[in-house]
A and B are shown apart, each in its own frame.
Chain A
Amino acid sequence: MKFSDEQIHRYSRQMILPGVGGKGQRKLLEAKVFIMGAGGLGSPAALYLAAAGVGTIGLADFDRVELHNLQRQILHKTCDVGLLKVESGTRTLESLNPGVGIQTYSERITAANIREIIKGYDLVLDGSDNFPTRFLLNDACYFEKKTLISGAILRFDGQLSTFKPHAGGPCYRCLFPELPPPGVVPSCQEAGVLGAVAGIIGILQANEALKEILGLGESMTGRFLMFNSLNLSFYEVKIQRNPNCLLCGDNPKIKDLIEYPQSCQGNAAGPSLPP
């Protein structure tokens, strides 16, 4: 594939980076990234991936844009209130970079459809706002051997890791075996989140996705990053595959996807992290 003059101009500032060049840009243009959620995390992640020229971006969200989303979900604008988030998101991403193909999924993501959807992608970004989806996505990525770039936010805090159990690393369940029990995690209405925190973690997810695609730097697999915005601190711990993991352990108990019930805009077993 020959680069057009437009592509060379558009991507010039990353093509000149050591280790990127034309080969790296080609990898980006051929890459397919699935983003779960066009919300607080998915918005900044999708914007940077589209800007970088990631060729295919899958955007899944069944919600419509509401006014209270706009404080952090920067794919959407005031005039988009009422639209499906995937419609609004597609419009924003296409106006940023018409060269990127956006696939949208406005149906609810369930155990019945998730594996088939992520099959066609190289990488999965979790920008979901609830634990049932988070566990569903982790399990689906494990079964489909897809790298999962996980981000989460709450109040002034964020978390980030990359799960590649197919490459020997831990999965999300190695750290969090089961959904939190009811009442342990504050509800989305109670907790709140600083918009910029969503931006920071979402952009870190995009950063890790670009690194995975380009094969550059140190992967976040086996590493769990915690961020606090109030004292502006990053803290990292090493994490390992748990041989007793219910999913990826030596004697796994989970052999198929589990559909956890959703309620309270997210989580029957424990309310959700804000999107």
Chain B
Amino acid sequence: MVEGSGKINKELNLKGKVCPYTFIESMLSLEEMKAGEVLRIIVDFLPAVSEVPKSLKNEGYEILEVSPVNGTDWAIIVRNKEID
């Protein structure tokens, strides 16, 4: 899987976390980041692979990529909002 999204500003390891905490912790990280910065989120809870991007998109964040890392982990790459 190609991670062609350019620079990653922060990594967030949410392995072992389930919904809705995967979404909440992703959002909390993004709220602390600067406008336009990119966050790479690692999850291993399968429903989070579809639910976290969906919820972040609803909140106005831009999903750049969702891809498997290995047999258990997935990476969600999301760009922070430009203006709040």
Contacts and interface: CB of A to CB of B under 8 A. Distances in A.
Contact of B23 (A3, A16, A18, A23): A16
Given A8-B21, A9-B21, A16 B55 contact: yes
Interface in B11-49: 20-21, 23-25, 27-28, 31
A12 B19 CA distance: 10
A204 to B, nearest CB: 27
A23 B23 CA distance: 14
Interface string A13-25: 1011010011100
B59 A12 contact: no
Main DSSP-derived SS at the A contact region: helix
Given A8-B21, A9-B21, A12-B20, A21 B31 contact: yes
A8 B22 CA distance: 11
Interface centre among A3, A9, A13, A16 (most CB of B within 10 A): A16
* Interface footprint category on A: 10 to 19
Interface string A166-181: 0000000000000000
A9 B31 CA distance: 18
Contact of A12 (B21, B31, B55, B58): B21
Contacts of B55: 16
B24 A15 contact: yes
A30 to B, nearest CB: 15
A18 B27 contact: no
A3 B25 CA distance: 10
Nearest to B58: A18
A8 B25 contact: yes
Contacts of A16: 20, 23-24, 55
B24 A8 contact: yes
Interface in A1-50: 3, 8-9, 12-13, 15-16, 18, 21-23
A16 B55 CA distance: 9
A22 B21 CA distance: 12
Nearest to B23: A16
Contacts of B20: 12-13, 16
Contacts of B58: 18
Contacts of B23: 16
Contacts of A13: 20
B28 A3 contact: yes
Contacts of A21: 27-28, 31, 59
A18 B24 contact: no
Contacts of B28: 3, 8, 21-22
B21 A18 contact: no
Nearest to B60: A18
11 contacts: A3-B28, A8-B21, A12-B21, A12-B24, A13-B20, A16-B23, A18-B58, A21-B27, A22-B24, A22-B27, A22-B31
Given A12-B20, A15-B27, A16-B20, 4 more contacts: A8-B24, A8-B28, A13-B20, A21-B31
A-B residue pairs, 3 tightest by C-beta? A22-B28, A22-B31, A16-B20
